[in-house]
């Protein structure tokens, strides 16, 4: 089928080694098979990145994709996805980002950027509609992300352009560096900023003046109106998201006994009232901020105007930050958490993994595996926020003990010693976010099998909370169903918070994902789309990601939960006494629901064929991966 709108229709390919810029037509096969966004980054990672490529070598390919709804005025149509082989995990990497940069790229005329090679010296890209320049970035190297954005706007002489950049962490190849767009929006996870740093690419600046057409103007306006009306009348998206952003999850997770506290030693933080959404609103909230065309406005903007951290200004925090730099590190000083957030944004660090490795180091310190001699004088006692802040800087610049943590859990355990492995709470090299699997066992099984390491966003649907009351066998079927639903915003180019996570009920979520998103795509792109077609694409994306990881040697053994969750009972909170005792049942049920072989963890032949992935099945066999 040929598209008539929604998509810009063009791919921009840049080879930094050759200083070459090429434009190609977006292929109909890619559109039909994978729709956009994460669908594009996943398939192109499979096709373009050689399995043996070192993630930090010029062979790795950085893929940046929008979806058919990105920048279209569909509500929350801000999203773009960055994909590459991850330098943190060594498997599939991707990170999803809001703000305004993705829409600007689309308005400049591009759905996709494919960036290869490595520039001999630091450069930035200037994409001004049809004009694309690879510019010298020597004056930007070493600058923070905020400084970089300001300087590029000055270079170009236009303060309405959009910039996505890396900070010192990405330049220094810290393995969990993110890409920062519009000052405070991060493509945070799996080290996509590190890949940019390895390519000597400091930033991508864009000005798009071409705009986007839609195929059926009146149909599109009607669809937008319908979903706008729904989002601005549903309690969750009309009140909870604008009023609290994601920070209301802090109290929710703590009340369920699952808020990661002191490196997952417990799921209940007794000082929660000092770092929750009320404390934030009462003391530091300046404004609520909305990404492109989003009525839900869940971003916070906070200012600290008194005390030790006076002068801190930050777009954030998310609930994740409040946990990662707060309870997970035993820290109840909210102003210091905002400062930590500001530092991570400026240095271009994923605040999640940064908090994860610091909490790990703090537990090693508690257990005597690290002393102040090892840490260069830092007292890593729980809650020592001065040490947390100093360590963030030391990680970004890879100084002293910061360098031990900057390479991720695996290298840190090698350095500190094998016993420290017990406290490295990670799966496939990435830390789980905030919510203890012992407190919500069905839902949080997701960490064990997510395609980019211990991730929560592959299955983050409101309806999935209700699965706790189901029998495991039924629950896993439904978990897989929600996984496919949650993929829909990722491939369409909209945000999963208003579309799949925040809803009054599971029925409302399904209406948005399965009826309204297809309606928006049909009217924007002028193609046939329905609930069955969009679910088929979502399933194909998940299988392609699994196959990418299988081709790299990933097997069923790498789908695990850390020992702490399996063996230690939660010592306090509502889930006190619980440990993760349903792992084998969940794993067997989930594999069956996905059509993966129980022994190898590779999708079965019939599963691949049903999804139309004969080519990938054949390719896996060529790489000696057994498909049953």
Partner 1 sequence: MNLRVNTAMCSGCRACESACSLKRFGQINPRKASLRVRESEDSGMYLVKICTRCGKCAEACPTGAITKSSNGAYEIDADLCNCCKLCVQSCPEGVVFVHRDLDTPAICNLCGECVKYCSAQALYIKDRNE
Tell me which residues touch partner 1 (CB under 8 A): 71-73, 75, 100, 107, 159-160, 183, 208-214, 217, 221, 228, 232, 242, 286-297, 299, 301-303, 313, 315
Closest to partner 1 by CB, 73 vs 556, is 73
Nearer CB in complex with partner 1: 227/359:
227
Least separation, in Å, of the C-beta of 11 and partner 1?
A: 20
Q: Angle at the Cα of 436 (from 39 to 378), degrees rounded to 5? A: 100
Q: Measured from the CB atom, is 64 or 212 closer to partner 1?
A: 212
CA pair distance 128, 109, nearest whole angstrom: 10
**How far apart are CB 313 and partner 1 at their closest, in Å?**
6
Query: Is 281 within 8 Å of 302 (Cβ atoms)?
Result: no
For partner 1, the closer of residues 27 and 287 by Cβ is 287
217 and 6 Cβ atoms separated by less than 8 Å: no
Q: Minimum CB separation from partner 1 for residue 492, in Å?
A: 15
Per the structure block, which two tokens stand in for 328?
């997970």
Q: How far is the CB of 107 from partner 1 (least distance, A)?
A: 6
Measure the CA–CA gap between 362 and 376, rounded to whole angstroms: 14
Nearest distance from residue 183's CB to partner 1, in Å?
7
Of the chain, the end-to-end C-alpha distance in Å amounts to: 33
Task: Using the minimum distance from each CB to partner 1, give the nearer residue, 315 or 562.
Answer: 315
d(CA 320, CA 275): 12
Output the CA–CA distances (angstroms, integers) from residue 266 to 28, 168, 439, 494, 568, in the order listed: 50, 34, 10, 35, 10
List Cα–Cα distances, 395 to 175, 421, 515, 561, in angstroms: 10, 20, 45, 26
Rounded Cα gap, residues 80 and 62, in angstroms: 13
Cβ proximity to partner 1, 109 vs 117, nearer residue? 109
Those residues whose C-beta lies under 8 Å from the C-beta of residue 177, and which sit 6 or more positions away, are: 166, 167, 169, 170, 191, 192, 193, 194, 196, 197, 348, 349, 350
Nearer to partner 1, 242 or 595 (CB): 242
| Collapsed DSSP state (helix, strand, coil) of residue 92 | strand
Tell the smallest beta-carbon distance from residue 552 to partner 1 (Å).
39
Q: In the complex with partner 1, which residue's Cβ is closer, 106 or 428? A: 106
Q: How far is the CB of 445 from partner 1 (least distance, A)?
A: 35
Q: Tell me the closest approach of the beta carbon of residue 321 to partner 1, in angstroms.
A: 16
- Please tell me what DSSP assigns to residue 19: T
């Amino acid at each position: 089928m040929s598209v008539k709108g929604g998509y810009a229709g063009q791919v921009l390919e840049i080879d930094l080694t050759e200083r070459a810029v090429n434009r190609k037509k977006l292929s109909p096969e890619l559109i039909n098979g994978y729709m956009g966004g994460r669908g594009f980054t996943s398939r192109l990672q499979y096709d373009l990145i050689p399995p043996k490529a070192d993630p930090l070598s010029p062979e790795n390919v950085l893929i940046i994709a929008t979806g058919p709804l990105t920048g279209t005025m569909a509500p929350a149509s801000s999203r773009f996805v960055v994909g590459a082989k991850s330098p943190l995990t060594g498997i599939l990497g991707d990170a999803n980002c809001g703000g305004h940069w993705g829409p600007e790229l689309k308005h400049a005329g591009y759905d996709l950027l494919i960036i290869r090679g490595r520039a001999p010296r630091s450069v930035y890209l200037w994409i001004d509609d049809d004009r694309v320049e690879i510019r010298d970035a020597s004056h930007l190297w070493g600058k923070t992300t905020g400084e970089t954005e300001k300087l590029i706007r000055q270079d170009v002489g236009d303060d309405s352009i959009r910039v996505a950049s890396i900070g010192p962490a990405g330049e220094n190849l810290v393995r969990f560096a993110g890409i920062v767009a519009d000052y405070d929006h991060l493509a945070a996870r799996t080290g996509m900023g590190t890949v940019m740093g390895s390519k000597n690419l400091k930033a991508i600046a864009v000005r798009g003046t071409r705009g986007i057409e839609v195929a059926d103007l009146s149909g599109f306006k009607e669809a937008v109106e319908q979903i706008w009306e729904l989002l601005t009348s549903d309690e969750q998206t009309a009140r909870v998201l604008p009023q609290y952003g994601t920070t209301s999850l802090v109290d929710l997770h703590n009340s369920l006994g699952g808020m990661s506290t002191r490196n997952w030693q417990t799921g209940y933080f007794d000082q929660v009232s000092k770092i929750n959404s009320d404390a934030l609103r009462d003391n530091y909230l300046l404004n609520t901020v909305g990404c492109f065309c989003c009525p839900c406005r869940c971003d916070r903007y906070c200012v600290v105007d008194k005390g030790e951290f006076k002068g801190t200004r930050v777009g954030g925090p998310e609930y994740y930050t409040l946990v990662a730099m707060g309870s997970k590190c035993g820290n109840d000083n909210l102003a210091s958490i905002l400062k930590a957030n500001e530092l991570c944004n400026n240095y271009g660090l994923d605040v999640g993994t940064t908090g994860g490795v610091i909490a790990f180091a703090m537990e090693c310190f508690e257990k005597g595996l690290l002393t102040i001699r090892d840490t260069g004088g830092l007292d890593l006692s729980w809650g020592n926020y001065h040490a947390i802040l100093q360590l963030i800087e030391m990680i970004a610049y890879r100084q002293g003990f910061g360098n031990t943590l900057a390479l991720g859990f695996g290298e840190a355990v090698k350095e500190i010693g094998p016993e420290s492995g017990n406290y490295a709470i990670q799966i496939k090299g990435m830390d789980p976010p905030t919510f203890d699997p012992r407190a919500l066992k069905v839902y949080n099984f997701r960490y064990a099998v997510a395609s980019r390491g211990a991730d929560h966003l592959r299955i983050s649907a409101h309806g999935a909370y209700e699965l706790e009351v189901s029998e495991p066998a039924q629950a896993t079927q439904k978990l897989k169903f929600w996984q496919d639903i949650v993929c829909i915003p990722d491939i369409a180019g909209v945000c999963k918070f208003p579309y799949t996570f925040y809803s009054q009920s599971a029925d409302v979520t399904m209406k948005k994902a399965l009826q309204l998103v297809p309606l928006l795509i049909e009217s924007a792109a002028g193609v046939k789309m329905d609930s069955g077609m969009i679910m088929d694409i979502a399933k194909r994306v998940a299988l392609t990601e699994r196959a990418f990881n299988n081709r790299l040697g990933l097997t069923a053994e790498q789908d695990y939960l850390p020992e702490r969750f399996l063996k230690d009972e939660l010592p306090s909170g509502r889930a006190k006494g619980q440990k993760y005792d349903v792992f084998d049942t969940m794993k067997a049920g989930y594999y069956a629901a996905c059509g993966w072989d129980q022994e190898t963890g590779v999708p079965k032949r019939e599963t691949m064929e049903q999804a139309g992935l004969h080519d990938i099945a054949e390719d896996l066999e060529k790489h000696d991966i057994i498909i049953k």
